[in-house]
Amino acid sequence: MSLKRAAILVAALAVASASSAQAPSASEAEEAADFARRAALGALHGPQKIFLDAIDADGILHRSVGNPAWGALAPRQRDSLRAFLRGHFLEALAGSAAGGGDISWISVSPAEPDGAFPVNVGLSYGASTLKTRWLTRRSPRGWAIEDVRLSDPGISLADEVRAALGPQPLSPRNTSREARARAIPRILALIGIGLVVAVAAPRLSRDRRRLLYLVAAVPALLLTVDGGLAIHRARSEAYALIPPPAEPWREIEKEAIAAEDAARPELARDAWRRAMDAGAPAGPILFRLGALSRARGDLASAEDELRRALAVKPPAPGAARELALIALSRGRSDEARPLLEQYVAATGPDPDALAALAVAQTNLGGAAAAVKTIDQAADLVPDGTRRAELRAQIHARTGDAAGAVAALRALDAAGGLDRAALRADPAYLPIAADPAWVGFLNESRSK
C-alpha cells in the first residue's frame, strides 16, 4: 500500500501538535516517515537491499563491541558481523510475511532526548498487524535506522543482536605468537622441500634435475604465498570473533509460534512457559500468554499475566492496551483511559488504540476529546475508503450513530457501500438499534 506524502505529513503534524516542544519539524517528520516507509517496503516486498542499506549496522555493532575493538577489526570480520545483524533484522520483519506484508499506517512520535526520530509503522500480514517503531536519525550522510522495536512485546531488534553476540563477542589475540605459529609449519615444509632437492639433485641428469626444480618450485611457491597471507591475517586481526552463545529458548519459541499458527493455544502456552524457564525474556512471553488467556475468555488469568508483563524489566507495553480492552469490556472506562494513554505515549499512536481511547473518553463524558481522538486516528491512514470506514467504526464504538452515518455518506455517494456487509459488521453493534443507523441501512430499499 503506497502512502501519500500528504497523509504522512498530516499524521506527523497531528502527533507533533501534542508535544510541540520536543516534536520534530514538519519537514523532518515527513522525511523520517518517508524514509522508514521505503525501508519497510524494501523488507516486505524488496529489493531487500533498500532495507539492509538503511540499517545503521556499523553504529549498532560499534556500540556492541566498543570503540577500540571495532576500529581494530579486519574488513572480513566486520562484514561477518554486519551480515549477522542484517539477517536478524530481516528475519524479524519479513520472516512472518508468507505471501507478503503491507503497510497499514504511519505516524511520527516526538523526537527522543538523544535526537532520534521514532516513526511508528503498522505492518499488516494478512489478518494480523505488527506495530513497530523505527528509530531513525539524520546525519551528514543521510537518514539511517538505529533500531526497529516490536512495540507491543517491547522487543528491540538491536538489543536482541547484542544479546545474541554475548557480553564479550571479541577476544584479544596475541598476533605475534599466532603469526609465528602459522609461519613455522610452512617454513619447516619449505626447508624439507629444499633438503629433498639438495639431496636428490646431484644424483640426477641435467634434464631430470631441471624437472625436479620445476616440480619443487610449485609447492614452494604455494607455501610461500599461503604463509604470507596467513601471517598477514594473523597480524591484521587483533581480535578473534567468539561464536554467539547458545540461546536454548529459540527452538522452543519456534514451537510456540507454530502452535499458535495451528490454533492450538494450550500447546502454545506450554511452549511459551518452557521458553521462559529456559531463559527467554519474560515481558514478551507474559504479554503473549495474557493475550492467549484473553482470547479464550479467561480474563482473570489474562489480567494477572498482563500486569506481570508490565511490571518486569523491560516491560511489554502492549500489555497496557490489552488490560484497557478488558477494562472496557467490563464497563470500567475510568481504568481503561489511563492505560490507553500510557500505551500511546510509550509506543506511539495507532488507529486501533486511538479508537479504543475515543470509546473510553466518550463513556466518561469527554465528547470533545473523543472527536479529536477520532480525527487523529483517521488521519493516520491514507485517504479513501479505509479512512472513511475507520472514522465510521470509531463513531459507532462510541455510540454516535449520526457520526457513523455522516462518515459513510461519501462512500455511499461513490457507490462503494455494501449495506448488507454493514449489517453483519460487529463494529456497528453499539448503534444497531439507533433510529439514525437503522434508517441509513434501510435507505437502499427505497432506491
**pLDDT level of residue 17 (50, 70, 90 thresholds):** very low
- Cell (9 digits) for 225: 604465498
List for the chain the helix, strand, coil content (%; round to 5): 70, 10, 20
CA 146 – CA 114 distance, rounded (Å): 12
**Span of 14-18, 267-271, 295-299 with lowest mean pLDDT:** 14-18
Output the CA torsion sign for 71, 74, 75, 77: negative
β strands within 274-395, DSSP E: none
Higher pLDDT, 189 or 7: 189
Nearest to 352 by CA among 368, 331, 373, 367: 373
Contact 329, 313 (CB under 8 A): no
Q: Which amino acid is at 334?
A: D
Please give the mean pLDDT across all residues of the chain.
84
**pLDDT level of residue 156 (50, 70, 90 thresholds):** very high
Helix 75-94 crosses helix 26-45 at what angle (to 10 degrees)? 90
Contact 130, 123 (CB under 8 A): yes
Please say if the pLDDT value at position 191 is more than 60: yes
- pLDDT for 219 equals 83
Q: How many CB atoms lie within 10 A of CB 257?
A: 15
Higher pLDDT, 205 or 84: 84
CA 257 – CA 250 distance, rounded (Å): 11
CA 358 – CA 395 distance, rounded (Å): 9
CA 84 – CA 160 distance, rounded (Å): 12
Please say if the pLDDT value at position 357 is more than 80: yes
Q: In the predicted model, what is the mean pLDDT of residues 85-106? A: 79
CA 58 – CA 76 distance, rounded (Å): 14
- Which DSSP string corresponds to 338-351? HHHHHHHHHH---H
Nearest to 319 by CA among 335, 340, 345: 340
Please say if the pLDDT value at position 20 is more than 50: no
- pLDDT for 19 equals 41
Condensed to tens digits (0 to 9), the pLDDT of residues 38-69 reads 999 999 888 899 999 999 999 999 888 876 78
Q: In the predicted model, what is the mean pLDDT of residues 69-87? A: 87
Contact 349, 119 (CB under 8 A): no
Percent above pLDDT 70 for the chain: 88
- Cell (9 digits) for 133: 517503531
Condensed to tens digits (0 to 9), the pLDDT of residues 215-266 reads 888 888 888 888 887 776 766 666 777 777 788 888 999 899 899 888 898 9
Q: How many CB atoms lie within 10 A of CB 438?
A: 13
Which range of 128-142, 324-338, 415-429 scores highest in mean pLDDT? It is 324-338
**pLDDT level of residue 420 (50, 70, 90 thresholds):** confident
